[in-house]
Amino acid sequence: MRLVTYMDADGRETVGAVNRLNGKIGPISEFGFPCTDMNDLIERASLRDLDDLEWHTAQTDHPAYRIDPASVKILAPIPVPRQDVICLGLNYRAHSDEAAGYSREAFTTKDPEYPVYFAKRANYVQGSGEPIPAHEDVTQKLDYECELAVILNRDIHKLHLDKPEKLRKYIFGYTICNDVSARDLQTRHTQWYLGKSLDGFTPMGPCIITAKEVAYPPKLKLQTYVNGQLRQDSCTDQMIFDINRIVTELSQGMTLKAGTIIITGTPKGVGMGMDPPTFLKKGDVVECRIEEIGSLINTVE
């Protein structure tokens, strides 16, 4: 099932389910799931509730399905995350190499047996169609990173699983994130936090696809186009550390709250890896695509 957050005719942020037959959006409150926003749904809906909701998305006769997606503003699925977004650095081999080629000092892992974790502040997450601010007064090296975002469906603490596929029950769904990065800030400061956290640096969307719809572990084609030119072209099965490793490792000493967003790293093909390095400028259109989820398109302004 695909879930979206959109602005209704009265300017209210609303959660909707996308009908799988006709593509129309139905506000989920009309299926008996009142919720204030996506975070509220994630916290309160059981797997059974989601199954019921999913059943509705295969029916066309429900009067709720009247909203043409082109007629409303689609927002990011979670426009205001409750916490910083958890990020993986250097989680695809060829990207790790291109990053080290750009700055060995800033992009070399201390121990290849352990993932690089960092965080990203996201006060407001833009949806597809909303701009990426250029921040020309702060950075001259603006870059993109297409990533699979994993959204957790319950609080997780000290998770141990006998079978990796059981992790699927803990995942609410997936979306696309562009982990926009200011490379000059990222390399100038010892930690990446500032260079990753400028306002508007975390576009996500266009929808959440629920975990049940995607085979686990997800094997989804991932691509980025800049002004129509293919830059990144990989698959989520190329991650060095998979979602199982990430979630179980983090949860050993940290409670991961329901609604936590984890972005799983980007493959080769970012601007700093080009020869010569090529950064985003005003007017550039960045399209991040992941199979099954769709396209996240943002213009630098």
Residues in contact with Mg ion by CB under 5 A are 145, 179, 266
Which residue, 10, 2, 17, is CA-closest to 67? 17
Nearest-approach distance from CB 192 to Mg ion, in angstroms: 9
Q: Which is nearer to Mg ion, 202 or 266 (CB)?
A: 266
Q: Which is nearer to Mg ion, 49 or 118 (CB)?
A: 118
Nearest-approach distance from CB 264 to Mg ion, in angstroms: 9
Q: Which is nearer to Mg ion, 153 or 224 (CB)?
A: 224
Nearest-approach distance from CB 171 to Mg ion, in angstroms: 19
DSSP 245-263: HHHHHHHTTS-B-TT-EEE
Please give the structure tokens belonging to residue 124: 């407001």
Please give the structure tokens belonging to residue 118: 């960092």
Nearest residue to Mg ion, by Cβ distance, number only: 179
**Residue 204 backbone phi and psi in degrees, to 5:** -145, 155
Nearest-approach distance from CB 84 to Mg ion, in angstroms: 14
Distance CA 299, CA 301 (A): 6
Nearest-approach distance from CB 32 to Mg ion, in angstroms: 38
Burial class of residue 104 (count of CB atoms within 10 Å of its CB; 0-12, 13-18, 19+): exposed
Q: Which is nearer to Mg ion, 57 or 126 (CB)?
A: 126
Q: Which is nearer to Mg ion, 74 or 263 (CB)?
A: 263
